[in-house]
Structure 1
Amino acid sequence: MFKKLLASVGIGAAKVDTVLETDTLMPGQPFRATIEITAGDVEQDISGIELALVTRAEVETDDGEHNENIKLQKWLVQEKVTLQPGETISVPFEAMLHQETPITALHCNSNRCQVWLATGLEIDMALDASDKDPLNIVPTDAMRAFVGALENCGYYLNSADVEKGFLRGDGFASSAGAYQELEFRPQSGGLFGIKEVEVSFVPESNRTHVLMELDRSFRGDGFISVTLEHSELSQDAIEQYLQQVLN
């Protein structure tokens, strides 16, 4: 009984570790992992094993700003299982990252984007055992083409963050509950030009929607959205489009 009580407060209890096949992924990419659960000193009934895709997002309220962990996806890896003392079980797992997973592999002055997989054991009458695995999220081909075209137009990526909420553009809307903002600034801007371009991607399987917020001197903010068809992706065409809308 004493050991059972210790396990219920996390002493001598089960531990969990998620081993990823790779931690470098793109939004919408399938991934594989093995969830390893190692029992503690006593028999334990685990009501479930959960895996979640999580990001850190800024939240704006009337009282100011704060950060909050947002679950973009959640999976039930395995239902109820009983672990014997010292036992180790391995559970193979396959899934697909959310299409709107924020990019973390960015080169900029301020990159506040974080994404990780969190694994937890739902242990009856116990503290959750948890495991946190950071992910290196790289841009898709469409994202790279758009960023490359914007850079060729004379802009550089200054900062990146994730904000809680949803986006809506011309014929599309986001669904993840958090969205990424990439802030670009002109390499050399005039007094009356664009001071800042904020870019957000809303990808789908065959196309990527882009929402841009343009901050123009003396003219305030304006929004422009465009859809990139993956089958017709051309960085040159994107660059020509940007040259028109950014002038």
Structure 2
Amino acid sequence: MWKKLLSKLGVGAAKVDLVLHRPHVRLGEKLEGEFLIEGGTVAQQIRKLEVELQLTVQADGKAYRRTVAVIPVAPAFTIQPGERKVLPFSYVLPLHLPITRHSVRYTFVTRLDIADGADAFDQDAIHILPPLALEKLFQAFAKLGFREKPSSGKISAYGQEFAFFPTDMFRGTVQEVEFFALLEEEGVRLYLEIDVWNGFAGLREKEMKQEMFLRYEELDDVDGTAQALQRAIEEAVQAAQNPSFHMGTTYAPPYTAPHAYDPYHQHHPYHQHHHGGHSMMGAIGGFAAGMLAGMVTEELLEDVVEDALDDHDLGDMLDVGDWFDGDDDII
């Protein structure tokens, strides 16, 4: 009797442990592992075994946690005292998730739902790697001496933005390069913002916008991609220092109310930048539809982005539907 009472309080109850074969995975790939379930001191009825994939976003000094997906594993079963069960686990990462960065983290939370007792939990951090096309783009920036900023990868209202600073050839000329990556059927479309030091304005930076498209086969050649990026950045520098210089392809679409990304219609990102913390913006969209890590919910925007954007009416502007399955919490 005492054993049953204690098991209801979690003492001597069943335990669960998710063991992942590897703690990192690329978007769209399968993550595999197994559940190790161990019975306690008495037989217990398990209502269900499930896993939550939780996203944690750091913004404005706070951590916001959101359930991305709930993954059912096993229906009701009974675990006997001391019994050990091993159940397989596999999960294909959705293509629209943001990738792991300093401000973006993921955790698998395993829950063993025990009838008439305290549930058992297990937590495992996972690292979501960029798709190969984006990784090769990062490598090309590294070839030019650029390094990713600690703030790179943060989620804005319209996507995940990446920021790099120069350490080599553009040092002293370019302050930073920010970009969104739109993955299309034939390649990657980049929306770049290049902050150029303007000596004529007392070493104040001048923001130059540049759009470029790189085919997937071109991205396979990292050296060639680096050269293409170098030309685009050099054009921006020349245009910033010489107003009469014409850049090849720029983008500066007018402000329009944001729309959910439609895979059948290309919505160009627009930019809204304010010195002192506001970020470059891009089009809303899921990675599967083309925009890397862009599809975000109204609720997440209100909680995570609102303070950074100083836009308390942001939720009224959006109509993007539900991306996540669960609720959000401030940690």
Q: CA deviation at 1:32?
A: 1.7
- For the residue of structure 2 that corresponds to 1:135, the secondary structure is strand
Distance across 1 between alignment mates of 2:8 and 2:209: 53
Q: CA deviation at 1:121?
A: 1.4
Q: Is the 8 A contact 2:152 2:164 kept in 1?
A: no
| Structure 1 match to 2:63 | 67
Q: Is the 8 A contact 1:48 1:122 kept in 2?
A: yes
Distance across 1 between alignment mates of 2:206 and 2:116: 55
Distance across 2 between alignment mates of 1:205 and 1:15: 46
Change over 3 Å in CA distance of 1:207–1:27 after alignment to 2:
farther
User: Where does 1:46-57 land on structure 2 (aligned, <5 Å)?
Assistant: 46-57=46-57
Distance across 2 between alignment mates of 1:96 and 1:159: 28
1:123 maps onto 2:119 in alignment: no
User: Could you state the TM-score of these two structures normalised by the residue count of structure 1?
Assistant: 0.72
Distance across 1 between alignment mates of 2:117 and 2:189: 44
Change over 3 Å in CA distance of 1:7–1:221 after alignment to 2:
farther
| Structure 1 match to 2:219 | 233
- For the residue of structure 1 that corresponds to 2:225, the secondary structure is helix
Q: Is the 8 A contact 1:72 1:101 kept in 2?
A: no
| Structure 1 match to 2:3 | 3
| Structure 1 match to 2:164 | 184
One-letter amino acid matched to 2:72: L
Distance across 1 between alignment mates of 2:187 and 2:35: 33
Q: CA deviation at 1:136?
A: 4.4
Counterpart among 91, 98, 107 of residue 95 in structure 1: 91
1:80 maps onto 2:76 in alignment: yes
Query: Which range moves more in the overlay, 230-239 or 202-211?
Result: 202-211
- For the residue of structure 2 that corresponds to 1:133, the secondary structure is strand
Instruction: Give structure 2 stretches of 5+ with no counterpart.
Output: 198-203, 237-331
Change over 3 Å in CA distance of 1:231–1:10 after alignment to 2:
farther
Bigger helix fraction:
2
User: Where does 1:134-213 land on structure 2 (aligned, <5 Å)?
Assistant: 134-160=125-151, 163=154, 166-168=157-159, 179=160, 181-188=161-168, 189=170, 193-199=173-179, 212-213=192-193
Q: CA deviation at 1:52?
A: 2.6
Distance across 2 between alignment mates of 1:92 and 1:7: 26
Q: Is the 8 A contact 1:28 1:101 kept in 2?
A: no
Distance across 2 between alignment mates of 1:82 and 1:44: 6
Distance across 2 between alignment mates of 1:162 and 1:7: 44
Bigger strand fraction:
1
Q: Is the 8 A contact 1:159 1:184 kept in 2?
A: no
Change over 3 Å in CA distance of 1:239–1:9 after alignment to 2:
same
Change over 3 Å in CA distance of 1:79–1:221 after alignment to 2:
farther
| Structure 2 match to 1:172 | none
Q: CA deviation at 1:196?
A: 2.0
Cα deviation, 1:153-209, whole Å, max 9, x if unaligned, reads: 3311232566456535xxxxxxxxxx4x54311115566x43223455576898666
Distance across 2 between alignment mates of 1:52 and 1:44: 22
1:242 maps onto 2:229 in alignment: yes
Distance across 2 between alignment mates of 1:126 and 1:223: 58
Change over 3 Å in CA distance of 1:214–1:20 after alignment to 2:
same
Q: CA deviation at 1:82?
A: 2.1
1:37 maps onto 2:37 in alignment: yes
Q: CA deviation at 1:146?
A: 0.2
Cα deviation, 1:84-140, whole Å, max 9, x if unaligned, reads: 222222211222123335246xxxxxx455433221112245433121223344443
Change over 3 Å in CA distance of 1:80–1:146 after alignment to 2:
same
One-letter amino acid matched to 1:159: P
User: Where does 1:219-230 land on structure 2 (aligned, <5 Å)?
Assistant: 230=216
Residues matched between the structures, number: 225
Aligned-residue Cα RMSD (Å) equals: 3.4
* Percent identity over paired residues: 26
